Amino acid sequence: MARDWSKLDESDVRVRPGKGTRPRSKRRPAHADAVTAMVVGKDRGRWTCAVDGDPAHLVVAMRARELGRTSVVIGDAVDVVGDTSGAVDTLARIVRVAERGSVLRRTADDTDPFERVVVANAERLLIVCALADPPPRQGFIDRCLVAAYAGGLEPVLCLTKADLAEPDALLAAYADLDFPVVVTRRDDEPAELRGMLAGGVSALVGHSGVGKSTLVNRLVPDAARRTGEVSAVGKGKHTSVTAVALPLPGGGWVVDTPGIRSFGLAHIEPDDIVAAFPEFVAVAEECPPGCGHRGSPEDPDCYLDSVIASGEARPGRLASLRRLLASRAGAEDPGEA
């Protein structure tokens, strides 16, 4: 997703053919007065941006014409010009979008064949999964992990409804993956989770009914009001909010992603997943070209097993890695994740 901004600035140069001795191009100032902001809401061609990341300084902006159809999503770091006071009925302009540090893509579906980025620059992906009601689905968690690792986000697994079932079996299933797991229940303060989410942007995913709203309302005391506010600023109230970043009282943001039921994994290469398992990276380069690293029977010449044989990695790590590779390949849980 790296963009070359020097190139993009050249779209500022307007060439007028056939005007005699007039200068054939005019270089506009490169928006020296721009302020930087984080996109926290998106609704029908209007973006809500927090100037300098300040949740109290929200500005509604449109996309400057020179950006064309450049994608601008929640979490993007943007440069904004024009009236950036945030006063009612003002409209600023987004003139630049910074290179993204991480991306979360939703999967293509019937209404849109492209895997679009829904959240940019999130530090972590909070995978919310109920221990019961609805029953946990490991296939879903695995696909979320693939999306997180490949997109450059740190996964955090949040197991909810601990009053209904024990977390032991799920904890065991992920013990080899070395990412943080937190267990919550509605009648407990989510203090540990609060600590994990402090600072940076956390994107939240989970099936309907797992307790995301319950959690968000706990973490962001005025979440309901803010959701309305962000969608209402400047344009009147709309209901079609796709994703919204909500400020955490202790700093940082949570992004709920309603409607995101699965992630786009089609563009992900096996090596993108291996990259999240440092002890296998070097050896993976010795595999035959195009190796999917899944071992027999899919990749009988895969070299990763040698790391286990030499004792440099735990067998559980390779098993977990291969489970994720299978998940990416759609071997498990095909269709909806």
Ligand X SMILES: Nc1nc2c(ncn2[C@@H]2O[C@H](COP(=O)(O)OP(=O)(O)OP(=O)(O)O)[C@@H](O)[C@H]2O)c(=O)[nH]1
As a whole number of angstroms, the distance between CA 263 and CA 336 comes to 9
Which phi and psi (to 5°) does residue 287 adopt?
-70, 160
DSSP state of 323: H
Q: Which is nearer to Zn ion, 9 or 279 (CB)?
A: 279
Radius of gyration of the chain (CA): 23
Q: Using CA atoms, how far apart are residues 281 and 218, in angstroms rounded to an integer?
A: 40
Q: Least distance to ligand X from the beta carbon of 74, Å?
A: 17
CB of 213 to ligand X, least distance (A): 3
Q: Which is nearer to ligand X, 82 or 211 (CB)?
A: 211
Say how far apart CA 184 and CA 212 lie, in whole Å: 11
Residue 295 labeled ligand binder: no
Q: Is 206 annotated as a binding residue?
A: yes
Of the candidates 131, 116, 85, the residue with the CA atom closest to the CA atom of residue 262: 116
Residue 57 binds which one of ligand X, Zn ion, none, with CB within 5 to 8 A depending on kind? none
**Position 214 contacts ligand X (CB under 6 A):** yes
Report if residue 138 touches ligand X, rule: CB under 6 A. Answer: no
- Span near ligand X by CB under 6 A; candidates 27-35, 165-173, 212-220, 230-238: 212-220
Q: Which range of residues in 3-11, 156-164, 224-232, 264-272 is near ligand X by CB under 6 A?
A: 156-164
Name which of 76 and 256 has its Cβ closer to ligand X. 256
Note whether 209 binds ligand X by CB under 6 A. Answer: yes
| Bridge partner list, 112 | 109
**Is 134:141 a contact under the CB 8 Å cutoff?**
no
Instruction: Give how far Cα 233 sits from Cα of 48, 72, 86, 91, 321, Å.
Output: 8, 18, 9, 10, 44
Q: Do the annotations mark residue 207 as ligand-binding?
A: yes
- In our burial notation (b when 16+ CB lie closer than 10 A, e otherwise), range 204-240 reads bbbbeebbbebbbebbbeebeebbeebbbbbeeeeee
Give the pair of three-digit tokens for residue 125: 């992906």
Binding site for Zn ion (CB under 5 A): 287, 291, 293, 302
Residues that bind ligand X (rule: CB under 6 A) add up to a total of 14
In the complex, minimum distance from the CB of residue 315 to Zn ion, in angstroms, rounded to a whole number: 16
Nearer to Zn ion, 256 or 299 (CB): 299
User: Nearest distance from residue 164's CB to ligand X, in Å?
Assistant: 5
What CA–CA distance (Å, rounded) separates 50 from 56? Answer: 7
Rounded to a whole number of angstroms, the minimum distance from the CB of residue 128 to ligand X is 7
- Residue 291 contacts which entry, ligand X, Zn ion, none (Cβ below 5-8 A, type-dependent): Zn ion
The reply to whether 239 sits near ligand X by the rule CB under 6 A is no
Distance CA 161, CA 129 (A): 9
Q: Is 242 in the site for ligand X (CB under 6 A)?
A: no
Interaction of residue 186 with ligand X, rule CB under 6 A: yes
Binding status of residue 213 toward ligand X by CB under 6 A: yes
- Is 211 annotated to bind ligand? yes
Output the smallest distance, CB 174 to Zn ion, in A.
23
Beta strands (DSSP E) in the chain are: 35-43, 46-51, 58-63, 77-81, 92-97, 103-105, 117-120, 124-130, 154-160, 181-183, 201-205, 244-247, 253-256
Q: Stretches 142-150, 205-213, 227-235, 329-337: which one binds ligand X (CB under 6 A)?
A: 205-213
Cite the annotated binding site for Zn(2+) by residue number: 287, 291, 293, 302
Point out which residues bind ligand X (CB under 6 A). 160-161, 163-164, 185-186, 206, 208-214
